[in-house]
Structure formats: structure tokens, C-alpha cells
Amino acid sequence: MSGLWNLQTLWFVLVCVLWIGFMFLEGFDFGVGMLLRLVGKSPEERRAVIHTIGPVWDGNEVWLLTAGGATFAAFPNWYASMFSGFYLALFLVLFGLIIRGVSFEFWGKVESAQWRSVWEWAMAVGSFLPALLVGVAFANLIRGISLDPAGNYTGSFWDLLNPYALLGGVVTLLLCLAHGASFLQLRTVDPIKPRAAALGRILMPLAAVAVIGFVLWTFGEVSHHSPSFWITAIVAIVAMLIAAGMAVTSRPGLAFVAGGVGIAMTVATWFTALYPNVIVDSNSHAYNLTVFNSSSNHYTLVVMSITALILVPIVLIYQVWTYYVFRQRVGLGGSSPKAGPDAPAPPPEASARV
Amino acid sequence: MSSVVELSRWQFAITTVYHFLFVPISIGMAGIVACFQTAWYRTRNPQWMRLTRFFGKIMLLSFAVGVVTGIVQEFQFGMNWAGYSRYVGSVFGAPLAVEALAAFFIESTFLGIWIFGYKRISEGWHLATIWLAAFGSALSAYFILAANSWMQHPVGYRVVDGRAEMTSFWKLLTNPTVFFAFPHTVIGAYANAAFIILGISAWYLIRNRDTEMFKKAAKAMVVVGVVATAATMLIGHFNGQLMTREQPMKMAAAEALYNTAKPAGFSLFAVAPFEEHPSRTSFDITVPHTLSLLATNSWSGEVKGINQLQAADVAKYGPGNYEPIIGVTYWSFRLMVGAGTLMVLFLLWGLYLVWRGAIETSRWFLKLALPAMALPTIAIITGWLFTELGRQPWVVYGLMLTKNGVSTSITAFDVWVSIILFTVIYGVMGAVAVWLTVRIVKKGPDPELDEAGAPIEPNLHVAY
């Protein structure tokens, strides 16, 4: 059971990778959802904003489902304690994901400003809740929650809203917003693009400050600092500083990449701060859930490992293909690929569609 | 604590039934819309593309609601059923994780490309994406049903240190139960979609709108529907025989058969108290020998009764009540079979009309096709209520009682909050989805030609 190279640790890393995939990809979806009404003013502009993530948001969200499923399969005790312990918080996450998911489909179906406004707000609120609460949840796992011997959470919903956890939530919220602003600059045309750039110039430095504050506080919360913690924490800070610099100097491509590394390493810092724990027991550390006492049996982990090692690369290949297919900027007037600034004027029926 | 169990059961029932109002329509329509688009790809008849787009939009509304309510399903096991999750996670978690990795990624990614990728990728690739989405949604059903089948008939595990541990993933995926449950569910989903498309097409035929095009759709759906419904019922019959062996109590409850009978008659109409656990029916009309024949393939085969099974279960598992609620099990089974029978009869009539070349002129058939859209949903929902309620008091048959699976760290207040809010959001969302579907139907498919008489190539295809 000891040593670093065992299946439990492999699965801990894989669950971390799935969360990174989720926060990196769905992170900009959440950001776009929250920024929609700020960067798009007319219905045409808002349609273009929605179309930047339209083809991909659902696939991106599956990373969350896979992370949940993988935690269930590989660490049933972690899954059970975390999901039942954070019951109301997770309900709010689900509430957000539900109203957000249907809002994409509902938004354009009725020609009415009021109707669209309802679903734009649903997109914003539905993106805000998970973006905030994912950070709150993981910060609580690191800080510790009160557990009974069976691993059940004994605190209340309000205990989860402590200052450290709220900072964790602000971190994920700002990361999603800043990442979304970078993404929009890469995928849209004027007048949306400069609005996103102006927001990115504020949001990315704020996100960097939040990440630095969170990493330093985490340093204090965690008693044992492994080399991997140091590496992920330092890379997270450096990447966010670079991202902030790139956003301020209007280099969205580099800001997107550096911000993405910042997101990935912030998520990785959660995991390196936790390891070998998965949930810290705040009372005495006696009932800490660890990768070893919360995992499935060896056979299940072997089967899951083989499956994941075959399927994850395949998923990555076709998801990358999706981004290749939709690589062109989304113009105004339907997502006509030819409607970019350098392209000839779109055909009349295209620009007439709202 | 019992109220947390009961509330959690209600919440699971409400959210799952709701989820499954939409899922079969999505699964079936994905395949049928893929067929429409294939017909267009091969014949270049623009009517097939108009059908693709029109029913594609309706399918996407159903997908949207199915997808967002599906996330709740995966989270609920941990949220409300932590005891269950700890006990079965090593076995039950694996098919859920593999479902997301192997199937749901395919479905959601390629559906996204299909919605937005028209004219961006070649027509052949675009056609492939809808087929991949249809394949992904059916594959998804396989893994979910493999997980559910394990709850009905656990295989490939052993109990170690107070929890179930997987010993063979292959056995889990080749559980005899899933071999019946999967085709029964997925082919049933195609029957459901066929009824929806047939009903909507009938609405147009009654109004003489786009008659030629919707006649094509209606004829195709009668054929698809009759084959799918008949196949679903036939597989259901074999599924029932398997269930008689694997979960005899569920079959006995389905028949309200209190005492072992040899031969056993098939009950047509029985009355017994719903909530209590009586030892006999108050009133029962049976057809002699028929249950023996259906359940055991033998004219006078023995079918075990509830009282004898209860006594055997007490001897095996200790004191307790091992009977499901008989009234609910009995009547949900009858509603399922009844709705399925009406579906077959209705479609045989349709088949006769197709053969006579009179489907678009038979007002009665077309008018009845509208309410008939509800039949598959009735059959599917009562079928699942039967499957899940008939397994009670077990959550995993013979292995874990439902009441032992509930989370201990949640309060009745927590569950009240979520159950009320889920019901409200689901209600609003369902009402909006249905209202939008009706709007799409009333508006009608995109016209074939614009005002100048030139063929229309919609800029947005089916995108938002």
C-alpha cells in the first residue's frame, strides 16, 4: 500500500487530470456564459457569442461527468462522503448546470427580447454557480471537514462557507471569467472582441492575485509540503503572472495558453495539497479519507486503468478535431464561416437571420 | 431517518421518471433522423433534408432536457445514497465511468458537430456525425443498463469486508439480464420515437400541409414502429421468463399470485390492498394455464407464489418483509403490457392502410395517431416502475436493502429542499420544452423554395 507508484495514486492523478480537463474546457464555457450580456449588446452579437461555445459546451461538460464517474468507480468512499456531505452545495451546482444547459437550446427559439433575456440570465447564473462552488468544494476538502468514523460529514451547509473555501470559490470564478475573456478574443470579431479584451485586462490580473493568495493560504493550511505541491503551486503562480501580463498587453493567444496552464496547475495544486488524503478530517485527522482507505479493490482499478488508457486518448483526438472544425472566428449573422472581418459580405439571408 | 429514505426514494423516482420521458425519444429520434439524412444523402430529394431538419430540431429539445437531467442521475447516487455508493462503488461505479468515457463523449461531441457543422465539413462526414451521436446514445444505454442489471441480478462480484467488490467486468457486461434489458429498452425507444414522428406527421396530413413529405415520414414510421414494438414485446416476454427465474418475487407480484400454482392462470383483473401486505387477492379473474405457458413454456409449469417466496426469503435472509407493494407492481405491469398491445394493434391498422395506399386519407387513423403518441411513454414509464418497484425492498437484489443504502449525513430538510426545487425546475423546463415543440410543429418545416423560387439552404441548419 505504500510507495508512490500504485494504482490508487495513478487514479488519484487521473481524477486530477479529468478535473483539469473540465476546468480548462468548461472554464471558458462558464466564462463566456457569464460575460455574454457584457460583451454582446445586440441579439446578433449575443448569438455569435453563444456560437463560440455552441458546438463544444456539451462535450466539455462530459469531463465533469467522467470525473464524477471515475471518482465513484475508483474511490467510492470519497465519492459517497463528498457528494452526500456537500448535498445542498451540489444541488446548487446541478441547478446551475440544468438551467444553463437548456438555455442554449431555448434561447433562440422565440423572437422576443424578454424571452432571450430570461435565458441569457439563466446562462449567466447557471455558469456562475458551478464556477464558484467547485472551488469552494475543493478548498473544503483541503482545509478539512468534520467526519465521523464512517466517513460521513457531520457539519452543516454553512460550515462550508468559511473564508478559505470562499477564497477558493473566488479563484475558480475569476479563472473562468478571465479564461472566457481570452477565449472570446480568439473566437470573435469586432465589436465583441475589444469588449472581451477590455474585460480580460481587468479579470486576468484579478485572477492572478486570487490564485497567489489562495496558494499562499493553502501553504499555511497544509502541514506537509511535498515536492509536487511546490512545483504545481509555483507553476500556477508563474503562469498566472504571465497570463496577466499578456492580457494587459492585449496578447489573447498567449493569455489563453498561460491562463490555461494557470487553471490546470491551480487544480493540480488542490490535488498535490491533498495527497495522500482525499478528504481531510478537521477534528483530529484520525478519520482522514485517503486514496488507500477510500479506493475500490485492485481488480476494479486494473480494469478501469486499461479502459481509461485506451479511451482517453481517443476522446482527446476527436475533441481536438472538433476545435479544428470550428477554428474560424464566429462572425455576426449566424455562425457563417465567411462572415469574418476579412471575408466578403455575408449573403443577405445570412445577415438577416437573428 | 425513515423519512430521509422515503424522500430520497421519491426524489429518485421523480427525477428518473422525468429523465426517462425524454431519453427514449432522443435515442430513437437520433437513429431515425440519421436515416432521414441518409435518405437525403443518397437520393438528394430535398424533402428528406427538410424532414431531417424539422425532426432534428424537435430531437434537440428532447436531447437538451435529457442531458441536463442525466447529470442529476449520476450525482444522486453519492448525494442521497452514500451507503449504497460505498457498498457497490467498486462494481457499480465502473459501468458509469465507462459510460461517460466510451459513450457520452461520443454522443455529445458529435451531436455538437452535427448541429453546427453543416457545410463546414463534407456531407459524408456530417452524415457520419449524426450516426455517431445515435450510436453513442445507444451505447450509453448499454452501460447504464449493465449497471441497472447488476442491481436486478448481481454477477461478477464477491463480498469482502462488508462491501461488494468486482471480480469480473466481463460478467457484468454480459449479464444475461442486460442481454434482454438492452434490446427491450433501446428498441422500445425507437418505437417511442416512431410514434412521436407518426403523430406529428398525422397532424400535417390532417391539415393537408406538405402532404407528400409527411406521407413519406408516416409510412416509414408505421413500418419502423410495428417492427420495433413487436420486437420489444417479444424480447419483453423472454425478459419476463428470465425474471421468473432470477427474481421470482417480482413475477409473482406482477401476477398477484399469492400461492404457488401448477398450472398457473394469467390474471386479467385482480384487486388487493395496495399499501398493506395481504396474503391473498380480494378478487381475481384468471385465464387458466396461461401464466404457466408464458412464464415456463409449459402447459402446466409451476409458478411460485408470493407467500411461499416470502417464507423462503425469511429462511434465507432473516426476518423481514420481502414483498414489493403488490398493487403497484401488478398494475404497472398490466399498464405496460396493455399499452404495448394497443401500440401493436394501432400500427397493424396503419400497416393495412399503408398497404392499401390510404394512410393520408384515413381521418380516424390520423386523428388517433395524436393521442397514440402517449402510449409508448405509458408503456416505458410503467415498465420501469414495475422493474424498480418490483425489486423492492432490495436495492441490489438479495444483497442490499434499499433502506440501508441511504445517506446518513443528509437531513429530511435537505431532501425537501432539493425535491421541491427539482420538481419546480423540471416542471418549468418540461412545460417550456413541450411548448417549444408545439411551436416548431405549428410553424412547420423550413420551406423548400424561397419567394423567388430558389432552393433554400438555411444558414443555421439546426443550430440555436
Mean pLDDT, rounded, of chain B = 92
Distance (Å, whole) CA A67 – CA A24: 13
- Complex confidence, ipTM: 0.91
DSSP for B302-358 reads -B--HHHHHHHHHHHH-SS-----HHHHHHHHHHHHHHHHHHHHHHHHHHHHHHHT-
Which of B443, B459, B461 is the best mutation test for A, with the most CBs of A within 10 A? B459
Q: Is B97's CB within 8 Å of A70's CB?
A: yes
Distance (Å, whole) CA B229 – CA B332: 18
Contacts with A118 from chain B: Cβ below 8 Å: none
**B319 preceded by a cis bond (ω within 30 of 0):** no
Contacts with A79 from chain B: Cβ below 8 Å: 77-78, 85, 89, 93
Residue A340 has a pLDDT of 38
pLDDT tens track for B239-270? 999 998 999 999 999 988 898 988 888 888 88
Task: Judge whether A82 and A150 are in contact, CB under 8 Å.
Answer: no
pLDDT tens track for B356-384? 998 988 999 999 999 999 999 999 999 99
Whether B51 shows a pLDDT value over 50: the answer reads yes
Domain ranges of chain A: 10-352
Task: Judge whether B21 and B28 are in contact, CB under 8 Å.
Answer: no
Q: Nearest residue of A to residue B84 by CA position?
A: A80
Report the percentage of chain A scoring pLDDT > 90. 86
Q: Is B410's CB within 8 Å of A87's CB?
A: yes
User: What are residue B412's DSSP bridge partners?
Assistant: none
Mean pLDDT of the region A16-38 = 96
Q: Is A91's CB within 8 Å of B61's CB?
A: no
Mean pLDDT of the region A183-193 = 95
Whether A334 shows a pLDDT value over 60: the answer reads no
Mean pLDDT of the region B76-84 = 96
User: What are residue A153's DSSP bridge partners?
Assistant: A147
pLDDT tens track for B112-131? 999 999 889 999 999 999 99
Residue A145 has a pLDDT of 94
Residue B37: C-alpha distances to residues B32, B53, B130, B445 (Å): 9, 9, 9, 15
> Closest Cα partner for A258 from A269, A248, A271, A247?
A247
The torsion angles phi and psi of B119, rounded to 5 degrees, stand at 75, 0
> Closest Cα partner for B105 from A246, A261, A120, A63?
A63
Residue A58: C-alpha distances to residues A33, A61, A64, A350, B72 (Å): 13, 5, 10, 25, 15
Q: Is B166's CB within 8 Å of A296's CB?
A: yes
Residue B446 has a pLDDT of 85
Which of B109, B171, B396 is the best mutation test for A, with the most CBs of A within 10 A? B109
Residue B453 has a pLDDT of 63
Q: Is A297's CB within 8 Å of B67's CB?
A: no
Whether B449 shows a pLDDT value over 60: the answer reads yes
Report the percentage of chain B scoring pLDDT > 70. 97
The neighbour count for residue B460, using CB atoms within 10 Å, is: 18
Task: Judge whether B160 and A295 are in contact, CB under 8 Å.
Answer: no
Q: Is A62's CB within 8 Å of B115's CB?
A: no
DSSP code at position B101 = I
What residue type is assigned to position A16 of the chain? C
Residue B454 has a pLDDT of 67
Contacts with B69 from chain A: Cβ below 8 Å: 98
Top-confidence residue, B293 or A74:
A74
Contacts with B63 from chain A: Cβ below 8 Å: 105
User: B59-62 contacts: CB < 8 A, separation 24 or more?
Assistant: B59/B25, B59/B26, B59/B29, B59/B30, B59/B33, B60/A105, B60/B115, B60/B462, B61/A105, B61/B433, B61/B436, B61/B437, B61/B440, B62/B22, B62/B25, B62/B26, B62/B29, B62/B433
Q: Is A303's CB within 8 Å of B94's CB?
A: yes
pLDDT band at B451 (very low <50, low <70, confident <90, very high): low
Whether A170 shows a pLDDT value over 90: the answer reads yes
pLDDT band at A4 (very low <50, low <70, confident <90, very high): low
Task: Judge whether A315 and A178 are in contact, CB under 8 Å.
Answer: no
Residue B335 has a pLDDT of 95
Residue B286 has a pLDDT of 83
Distance (Å, whole) CA A57 – CA A105: 12
pLDDT band at B2 (very low <50, low <70, confident <90, very high): low
Distance (Å, whole) CA B281 – CA B292: 19
pLDDT tens track for B378-418? 999 999 999 999 999 999 999 999 999 999 999 999 999 99
SS3 B449: strand
Mean pLDDT, rounded, of chain A = 91
pLDDT band at A343 (very low <50, low <70, confident <90, very high): very low
pLDDT band at A349 (very low <50, low <70, confident <90, very high): very low
Top-confidence residue, A336 or A183:
A183
Q: Is A80's CB within 8 Å of B85's CB?
A: yes
Mean pLDDT of the region A136-159 = 93
Distance (Å, whole) CA B240 – CA A276: 48
Question: Shortest CB distance from B93 goes to which of A72, A110, A153?
Answer: A72
Mean pLDDT of the region B134-150 = 96
Whether A98 shows a pLDDT value over 90: the answer reads yes
The torsion angles phi and psi of B414, rounded to 5 degrees, stand at -55, -50
> Closest Cα partner for B283 from B311, B258, B251?
B258
Residue B296 has a pLDDT of 84
The torsion angles phi and psi of A296, rounded to 5 degrees, stand at -75, 175
Whether A351 shows a pLDDT value over 60: the answer reads no
Residue B459 has a pLDDT of 65
Torsion sign, CA atoms A181, A186, A187, A191: positive
Residue A99: C-alpha distances to residues A78, B73, B79 (Å): 27, 16, 20
Report the percentage of chain B scoring pLDDT > 90. 80
Q: Is A84's CB within 8 Å of B409's CB?
A: yes
Whether A336 shows a pLDDT value over 60: the answer reads no
Largest CA distance in chain B: 81
Task: Judge whether B148 and B175 are in contact, CB under 8 Å.
Answer: no
